[in-house]
Amino acid sequence: MKNTIQEFANLVQEDTKEHFEKTYPSQPIEFWKDSYTVKVKPGSKYTKVDVGRSGKYMVVNTTGEIYGIKAYGVIHKGHYYGTLETMNEWNWGGFYGVKLVSQN
């Protein structure tokens, strides 16, 4: 089964919301809603995945590769986070994606 960019966006939002809940337990989560809400913006080569008011990830439309950004709309090839197929091997809640440790 092939993962979609929308499924990736949903995962980023879930992980980011969880991060805010753990980091700020005394603050109601609704206070942070503008900071963890994810928006998907399709483009011809890349799809932008924005978190809050900031660009955060770009997904290559043809391959599903996930990258960070240098500036809004500018892919950062040095910040590679796997593909849509490996998106569940990462935690997306912090400042950038972090590879989860394998339990094998």
pLDDT for the residue numbered 57: 97
pLDDT for the residue numbered 103: 60
pLDDT in tens, 2-54: 889 999 999 999 999 999 889 889 888 888 788 889 999 999 999 999 999 99
pLDDT at 86 over 60: yes
pLDDT for the residue numbered 104: 57
Identify the CA nearest to 45 among candidates 67, 26, 27: 67
Please, which residues have CB within 8 angstroms of residue 99's CB and are 6 or more apart in sequence?
A: 82, 89, 90
Can you read off the two tokens belonging to residue 27?
């603050």
CA distance 65 to 37: 22
pLDDT at 102 over 80: no
Q: 0.75 exceeded by the pTM?
A: yes
* CA end-to-end distance (rounded Å), the chain: 23
Please, which residues have CB within 8 angstroms of residue 45's CB and are 6 or more apart in sequence?
A: 60, 61, 62
